[in-house]
Amino acid sequence: MQIRSYGKFNLTLKVSRKSRLKKMHRIQSIIFPYKLEYDMVEVLSYQGQQTIFTCNRKELDWKNNTVLDAYHKFVMMFPKFKAVPLHINLIKKTTIGSGLGYSASNAVALIKIICNFFKINYHSKKIKKLIKSLSSDALFFYLEKPAIISGYGNKITYLTPNQIKKYEIANLKVIDSKISSITKDVYQEFDYNYQYYKTKKNINIYYNMLQQPAFKINPKLKKFYLALKKEHQNVMLSGSGGAFLVW
């Protein structure tokens, strides 16, 4: 049993300093699905004594990743299924650290396919609560529709047809630089120099407050950006990763 795990891109991304109480960042972002590239999540019956995880990419931590985290949270919510060993296989086709949300998407895809495997209603309130607990991006991947994400990533408002027409860009392309950009490092730089980054003016309808901190810690990413600017009128980093939006 396999399922495709699609990405997303941010057309806007406003970020506030990390809350000392919740240890999370408030965000506001307009997000659209990205379905031209995808990973595959596979779940099979397993004859061993306990569930195993495999992946085709050696650089991924096989003992600590979002897919395994999603599985552990699932069996905490449905403990009777812990006794059913599974083989969870992630077929990674996309760049790790692309900023297109595949880490969260992989986790949500695992919950979706495992619900199908055990014949659980994926659209139940219980599963939606589980999805919310995975990560700030996870809720978007629950239905994969253009939306405004706010709060700590836990609030989602789906765009109306008129809003979609307002924000979508007809000639938009996603270009993956293949340069890995780690989200936690970008957020760390953002928090460290928050007073500077919060004063940067967003003069365009489309903006990303994490673009400058990502460039600060990753000069190769900025160099790639400057090269794209020579070919395209508009260039913007998507999220905190290494993929760009051009139009």
Tens of pLDDT, residues 48-85 = 889 999 999 887 877 778 999 999 999 999 999 999 99
Which region holds residue 128: left if phi is over 0, alpha if psi is between -120 and 50, else beta?
A: alpha
Phi/psi zone of residue 149: left (φ > 0), alpha (ψ -120 to 50 degrees), beta? beta
Q: How confident is the model at residue 200 (pLDDT cuts 50, 70, 90)?
A: low
Average pLDDT over residues 212-227: 95
Mean pLDDT value across residues 144-162: 91
The pLDDT assigned to 63 comes to 79
User: Residue 234: what pLDDT?
Assistant: 94
What are 9's two structure tokens? 């891109």
Taking residues 101-122, report their average pLDDT. Answer: 95
| pLDDT of 208 higher than 70 | yes
pTM score over 0.75: yes
Residue with tokens 């260039």: 235
> What pLDDT sits at residue 23?
77
Q: 78's torsion region: left (phi>0), alpha (psi -120 to 50) or beta?
A: beta
Write out the two tokens for 28.
Answer: 């506001």
Q: Which residue has 């969260």 as its token pair?
A: 104
Chain mean pLDDT for the chain: 91
86-97 in b/e form (b: 16+ CB < 10 A) is bebbbbbebbeb
Q: Residue 125 burial by CB count (10 A; 0-12/13-18/19+): exposed, middle or buried? A: exposed
Q: What is the dihedral of CA 43, 176, 158, 212, to 10 degrees?
A: 130
Give the per-residue pLDDT at 203: 66
CA 21, chain centre distance (Å): 23
Distance CA 59, CA 228 (A): 28
User: 232: closest CA among 159, 154, 175?
Assistant: 175
**Tell me, what's the pLDDT at 24?**
81
**Pairwise CA distance, residues 159 & 76, whole Å:** 33
